[in-house]
Chains A and B, each alone.
Chain A
Amino acid sequence: MLELTINDRVVQVPDGLNVLQAAKHVGVEIPHFCYHPGLSVAGSCRMCQVEIEQGGRKRIDLSCSNAAVDGMIVRTNTPAVVKAVKGVLEFLLMNHPIDCPICDDAGECKLQNYYMLHGLYDSRLNVEKWHKPKVHPVGPTVVLDCERCVLCSRCVRFCDEIWGERQLGIFGHGSNEKLINYPGRELDNPYSGNVVDLCPVGALLDKDFRFQRRVWYLKSVKSICPLCSRGCNIYLHYDVDHDYQRPGRRIQRIKPRVNPDVNRWWICDRGRYGYSFIDAATRTKTPRLLGKDADWNYALQKAAELITTTQKQHGPGSISALIAPTASNEDAFMALRLFRERLNIPQISSDIPSSEKLTADQLLLTDDPYSNRRGFQDLGLGPADGGMNAEEIINAVKAGQIKGLIVVGTDLESLVGKQVESITGKLDWLIVGASQENQLWNRATVGLPLAVYAEYPGTFTNVKGMVQKFEKAVEPLGQALPQWQVWHKLAGHLGADWRFDDARAVFKALSAGKPDYESLNWHATFGVDKGCYPDNW
């Protein structure tokens, strides 16, 4: 720890911080554009100037490129500092188009906020502003407005330092200087969306969020990305009250949530832009019985009858279950409790090959598209837990040894291709739990519509064994239910009297005796925030 004085307050801060970080540490925000804790220090925006007094000598200097030193006196609000910062701001705004009403970044824009803080003057420019490329498709997912750019170079440094390949550059000189991609090259790295988070203004914007929502209407919950086993921490930004462009779009965008142990400040584009399945037209919304809509009670009653009858006729081994490890720990726990403990079904597998092949990269993406393989393993539903693997179960079905099959969260394409009849023809019945209509859905004896991760709270265990909780953003579509609730209800129809009021109660039961799980603070992530990007460095 070291001691310094910030705005006449003597404070203690940890070693190794710069002045800007030290001030933030004690609640003093210093305006800045180019500084970001995840990137190298550029010192190019000149916004973070403060007065630094050392050894009795005062100077106006940058707070981002000066280390906090014991005994340093820092002032962020003297007239000289304010004048310097105001001057910088006026230069930055000189050629800025000030098109805030149609800018998607309005509401979370540093330039806007600092103008409120330091500006509030009229423009002194009496000549035409410089014009630069607008709506420039800088990459497949990002659109660039060169006029709005403040040349902080955060995006340039991101590509350079974090992804490891130069894709953007700042070219030209003076007022004509502009950030843009090199001719013939695109901002096409698999982490390109992070430059949108990094951009302190509205220069770099997500194509898929452009003109969709005003950011102040967004609500936000803390969640976990379900698209690979890394378990990146994310915010789900949603809004169901203002349809401008696409009716039925509830999830508006995904933003990374800082977690130094998992994803730091970043997420990959696959996770960032891969949310359309949540509001897809192909979502399953109603329980199905023999290809017709049914209500939950009737469908589950039928499912219970099928299970009971088959077990009576052919024994417990005549039924098998395949559950993809995309479901939460609570889902897996309830499935095990029902199928293994209550019904004594011997062959339950989560070992379903993924139809999507991922290649791990140097940053975050793993080669496993299943979000919760580790959690399934911890709970006793992994491939190493004895019994047959998914392929062997399918072979047993084809051989006529299995009469009833429960398939959840997979369309089995990776195992049977499009030849669904090769198994449905051998089965007395097929119970399908799915959140998306797939090739099994309309052939299912009973179809159970499942909620997706954004629609109920739960936990995933990532590839490193970290147990992480995700929150509920929106209601399940139609009559869809969280998977654990479906098994809970089905157990009721099979005569069990289980009382799990909510996901937390399930989690409590499953975490008993598992220190990694018991240490999770269920309430730590709770709450709905404003969607304006909160990790805005």
Chain B
Amino acid sequence: MRSFSESTRQQALAYLELYPKKEAALLPVLHLAQKEFGFIDDDAEVAVAELMGISPISVREVSNFYFMYHHHPIGKYHFQVCHNISCSIMGAETILGHLKKRWGIGNGERTADGRFSIERVECLACCDRGPALLVNQTLHTDLTPEKIDEIIETLR
């Protein structure tokens, strides 16, 4: 069983006030839950459902629909590699391949030490500077395997 910290709880309740129908607050509340718990599992869904007074089924329908909610633990550093057309032309698959090889994990997986995870994502709105990568909230562009290694070194 998961429960929200008091501050997150207050924030979520504030979101509920913003909309005429409480269901409308589900997306921001799910983001809050993801921030708090790291990912959205069954327990997190139930916690969100209880907080909002809706069915866990409604919560799951939404959290399953959107790819930006994770259902498994992600790494401390979550590497989101764009694979849309501009980045692909500029070598996104090489970047992905380099990460996978370096850590020995696949897309959507996490290293055993829990530090890193990889996810292939849609456009990061940097088509002019591909390949692009989002590490948590930090954007990195014009990537090469060497540049990737440098980024990883700074994350030690």
Asked if A513 lies at the interface with its beta carbon under 8 angstroms from chain B, I say no
Asked if A173 lies at the interface with its beta carbon under 8 angstroms from chain B, I say yes
Produce 1/0 per residue, A156-192, CB < 8 A to B: 0000000000111111110001000011010000000
Are A169 and B61 in contact (CB-based, < 8 A)? yes
Cβ-neighbour of B61 out of A167, A170, A183, A185 (below 8 A): A170
Q: How far is the CB of B19 from chain A (nearest CB, A)?
A: 20
Q: Which residues of A contact B (CB under 8 A)?
A: 166-173, 177, 182-183, 185
Cβ-neighbour of B42 out of A170, A173, A183 (below 8 A): A183
The 5 closest A-B pairs by CB, nearest first: A169-B57, A166-B55, A171-B64, A166-B57, A182-B57
Asked if B31 lies at the interface with its beta carbon under 8 angstroms from chain A, I say no
> What is the bound-complex CA distance between A177 and B67, given in angstroms?
13
Residues of A within 8 A of B55 (CB): 166
Q: Count chain B residues whose beta carbon lies closer than 8 angstroms to a beta carbon of A.
A: 11
Are A171 and B61 in contact (CB-based, < 8 A)? yes
By beta carbon, the residue of chain A nearest B65 is A173
A to B CB contacts below 8 Å, 6 in the list: A166-B57, A168-B57, A169-B60, A172-B65, A173-B65, A182-B60
> What is the bound-complex CA distance between A185 and B46, given in angstroms?
13
Asked if B58 lies at the interface with its beta carbon under 8 angstroms from chain A, I say yes
Cβ-neighbour of A173 out of B56, B57, B60, B67 (below 8 A): B67
By beta carbon, the residue of chain B nearest A176 is B64
Are A166 and B58 in contact (CB-based, < 8 A)? yes
Find residues 47-88 in chain B having any chain A CB closer than 8 Å to their own CB: 55-58, 60-61, 64-67
Q: How far is the CB of B50 from chain A (nearest CB, A)?
A: 14
> What is the bound-complex CA distance between A270 and B64, given in angstroms?
35
Residues of A within 8 A of B64 (CB): 171-173
Residues of A within 8 A of B42 (CB): 183
Are A171 and B58 in contact (CB-based, < 8 A)? no
> What is the bound-complex CA distance between A344 and B58, given in angstroms?
65
Q: How far is the CB of B2 from chain A (nearest CB, A)?
A: 16
Q: How far is the CB of A121 from chain B (nearest CB, A)?
A: 30
> What is the bound-complex CA distance between A185 and B45, given in angstroms?
14
> What is the bound-complex CA distance between A169 and B56, given in angstroms?
10
By beta carbon, the residue of chain A nearest B63 is A171
Q: How far is the CB of A156 from chain B (nearest CB, A)?
A: 8
> What is the bound-complex CA distance between A183 and B58, given in angstroms?
13
Are A182 and B65 in contact (CB-based, < 8 A)? no
Are A169 and B67 in contact (CB-based, < 8 A)? no
> What is the bound-complex CA distance between A172 and B69, given in angstroms?
12
Are A169 and B58 in contact (CB-based, < 8 A)? yes
Residues of B within 8 A of A168 (CB): 57
Residues of B within 8 A of A169 (CB): 57-58, 60-61
Residues of B within 8 A of A172 (CB): 64-65
By beta carbon, the residue of chain B nearest A178 is B64
